[in-house]
Amino acid sequence: MWFSRALVRAFALLTPEEQEFALNTTVTYAPQAYEYIRQCKASDDGVTVPTMGKEVPVEKLSEWAWDKVAEHPMVWRSPMNPDRPFLQVHGCCVYKLTTRNPTTGKATVMDDVEKVREVVHNTQKKIYAAENIYAHRWQEGDVVIFHNRGVMHSITGQLAKYKEEDKKRMLWQCTMTSTTPPKPFLDYEGVNNTGYVRV
């Protein structure tokens, strides 16, 4: 399931207060993010984890270091639409939000993962409408190519009804990593730029 152009519209649907929050917030993702959530079940919309308790404790994850943990602005500048704020957060893997006052530089950290997920999901869920969603009806041999940073995306569970293993989808995924990090829509040096955990 892909949310077409939803990231630009999602920002526009936020209240002015929510927009200000998002523009000044950096998202820290969980260390070894997919390993951290591997036992969790995503929400029906596929873009968050609605319950707590199945995360792998960080001390039991395979080797990692804080200086290698991804951190990105909540609102990006899209190279295709540089004048339109682009709300981009991977809701299932969020771990911490750091919001800085751009005038004083004072940081406020939200590190309660359950609360972080709730806040992020509330910013994203306003966009869920049929006109923004493409749900692919999978058939054997299908190839779907999409811009990972350009659309929200999740699984649909279309084939979950089948008990037989040969009827379930096998997905081969090929990801080409970008050499260009995302840029914040409003660039406050040391406030919301892409990098690794600093606070």
How many structural domains does the chain have?
Answer: 1
Asked, for residue 12, whether it belongs to a domain, the answer is yes
Asked, for residue 86, whether it belongs to a domain, the answer is yes
> Which residue segment(s) compose the domain that 150 sits in?
2-180
Task: Using the Cα atoms of residue 46, residue 47, residue 51 and residue 52 in order, give the sign of their dihedral.
Answer: positive
Would you state the pLDDT for residue 130? 75
Q: Which residues pair with 26 in a beta bridge?
A: 73, 98
Q: For residue range 57-81, what is the model confidence (pLDDT) as tens digits?
A: 999 999 999 888 989 999 988 877 8
How far is residue 160's CA from residue 54's CA, in Å, rounded to a whole number?
21
Q: What angle do CA 135, 157, 27 make, to 5 degrees?
A: 75
Q: Encode 23-37: b = buried (16+ Cβ within 10 Å), e = exposed.
A: bbbbbbbbbbbebbb
Would you state the pLDDT for residue 63? 95
Largest CA distance in the chain: 59
pLDDT tier at 41 (50, 70, 90 boundaries)?
confident
Residue indicated by tokens 């609605």: 50
Asked, for residue 41, whether it belongs to a domain, the answer is yes
Asked, for residue 197, whether it belongs to a domain, the answer is no
Asked, for residue 185, whether it belongs to a domain, the answer is no
Q: For residue range 154-166, what is the model confidence (pLDDT) as tens digits?
A: 665 555 666 666 6
* Residue-averaged pLDDT of the chain: 81
Asked, for residue 19, whether it belongs to a domain, the answer is yes
Q: What is the mean pLDDT of residues 98-104?
A: 87
25 membership: H or E segment, kind and range:
strand 25-29
Joined tokens for residue 189: 């040096």
Highest mean predicted confidence (pLDDT) among 2-16, 106-120, 153-167:
106-120
